[in-house]
Structure 1
Amino acid sequence: MIYLDSAATSPMRKEALDAYIEAATTAFGNTQSLHDAGSTAADYVASCRQMWGRFFNGRAEGVYFTANASEGNQLTIRSLLRGRPPELKDIVTTKLEHASVLTTMHELEKEGYRIHYIPVDSYGVLDMLAFEHTVSHGTALVVMQLVNSEMGAIQPVAACAEYAKLVGVPIHCDVVQALGKIPLDVTELGVTSAVCSAHKIGGPKGVGIVYIDPSVHWESVYEGTTHQHGFRAGTVDVPAIVAATIAAKYALADQPQAFQQALRLQALVSELLPEGVQMVGSNSSKSPFIQGLIMPHVEGQWMMLECNRQQIAISTGTACKIGYGEAMSAMSAMDYESDVARKFVRISFNHQTTCGEVEAFLKVIEQSLIQNKLKATQ
Structure 2
Amino acid sequence: MMIYLDSAATAPMSKEAIDAYVETATNAFGNTQSLHDAGSLAADYLASCRKLWGQFLNVRQDGIYFTGNASEANQLAIRSLLKGRPGHCRSIVSTQLEHASVLSALHELEREGYEINYVPVDRFGLVDMEIYEQSVNEQTALVVMQLVNSEMGAVQPVEQCAQIARRFGVPLHSDIVQGFGKLPVDIGLWGVASAVCSAHKIGGPKGVGIAYLDPSIHWQSVYEGTTHQGGFRAGTIDVPGIVSATIAAKHAVAEQPESFEHARKLQEYLLEHLPDGVTATGDIKSKSPFIHGLVLPHVEGQWMMLACNRAQIAISTGTACKIGYGEAMSAMLAMGVESDAAKKFIRISFHRETSTQDIDRFLEVVEHSLVEFTPSL
Residue matched to 2:89: 88
Question: How many residues are paired up?
Answer: 376
Q: CA contact under 8 A between 1:20 and 1:239: conserved in structure 2?
A: yes
CA-to-aligned-CA distance 1:229-262 (integer Å, 9 cap, x gap): 0000000101000000000001111111110010
What does 1:211-222 align with in structure 2 at a 5 Å threshold?
211-222=212-223
Give TM-score scaled by structure 1 length: 0.99
Secondary structure of the structure 2 residue equivalent to 1:306 = helix
How much does 1:188 deviate?
2.1
Q: 1:280 corresponds to which letter in structure 2?
A: T
Q: CA contact under 8 A between 1:119 and 1:126: conserved in structure 2?
A: yes
Identity %: 66
What does 1:227-242 align with in structure 2 at a 5 Å threshold?
227-242=228-243
Residue matched to 2:250: 249
CA distance in 1, matches of 2:99, 2:130: 23
CA-to-aligned-CA distance 1:1-49 (integer Å, 9 cap, x gap): 0000000001100000000000001110000000000000000000000
Q: CA contact under 8 A between 1:254 and 1:351: conserved in structure 2?
A: no
Residue 354 of structure 2 is aligned to residue 366 of structure 1: no
CA distance in 2, matches of 1:41, 1:326: 39
CA distance in 2, matches of 1:65, 1:27: 17
Residue 295 of structure 2 is aligned to residue 294 of structure 1: yes
CA-to-aligned-CA distance 1:108-135 (integer Å, 9 cap, x gap): 0010100000000000000000001010
How much does 1:362 deviate?
1.0
Residue matched to 1:330: 331
How much does 1:377 deviate?
2.8
Secondary structure of the structure 2 residue equivalent to 1:145 = coil
CA distance in 2, matches of 1:44, 1:281: 41
How much does 1:360 deviate?
1.2
Q: Which runs of 5+ in 2 are unaligned?
A: none
Residue matched to 1:314: 315
Residue matched to 1:160: 161
Residue matched to 1:149: 150
Residue matched to 1:54: 55
CA distance in 1, matches of 2:327, 2:94: 16
Residue 91 of structure 2 is aligned to residue 116 of structure 1: no
What does 1:154-303 align with in structure 2 at a 5 Å threshold?
154-303=155-304
How much does 1:86 deviate?
1.3
Residue 376 of structure 2 is aligned to residue 377 of structure 1: yes
Q: CA RMSD in A?
A: 0.8
CA distance in 2, matches of 1:250, 1:156: 25
The list of structure 1 runs, each at least 4 consecutive aligned residues, that deviate by more than 4 angstroms after superposition, is none
Q: CA contact under 8 A between 1:279 and 1:293: conserved in structure 2?
A: yes
CA-to-aligned-CA distance 1:121-153 (integer Å, 9 cap, x gap): 000000000001010011000001000000000
Residue matched to 1:18: 19
CA-to-aligned-CA distance 1:351-375 (integer Å, 9 cap, x gap): 11111111111111111111111xx
Secondary structure of the structure 2 residue equivalent to 1:285 = coil
Secondary structure of the structure 2 residue equivalent to 1:31 = coil
CA distance in 1, matches of 2:220, 2:376: 63
Q: 2:210 corresponds to which letter in structure 1?
A: I
Give TM-score scaled by structure 2 length: 0.99
How much does 1:314 deviate?
0.2
Q: 1:72 corresponds to which letter in structure 2?
A: A
Secondary structure of the structure 2 residue equivalent to 1:167 = coil
CA distance in 2, matches of 1:44, 1:128: 42
Q: Which runs of 5+ in 1 are unaligned?
A: none
Secondary structure of the structure 1 residue equivalent to 2:285 = helix
Q: CA contact under 8 A between 1:225 and 1:232: conserved in structure 2?
A: yes
How much does 1:345 deviate?
0.1
CA-to-aligned-CA distance 1:44-73 (integer Å, 9 cap, x gap): 000000000000011110100000000000
CA distance in 1, matches of 2:62, 2:139: 29
How much does 1:189 deviate?
1.9
Q: 1:78 corresponds to which letter in structure 2?
A: R
CA distance in 2, matches of 1:209, 1:230: 15
Q: CA contact under 8 A between 1:6 and 1:200: conserved in structure 2?
A: yes
CA distance in 1, matches of 2:213, 2:187: 10
CA distance in 1, matches of 2:188, 2:24: 31
How much does 1:87 deviate?
1.6
What does 1:118-133 align with in structure 2 at a 5 Å threshold?
118-133=119-134
CA distance in 1, matches of 2:81, 2:376: 58
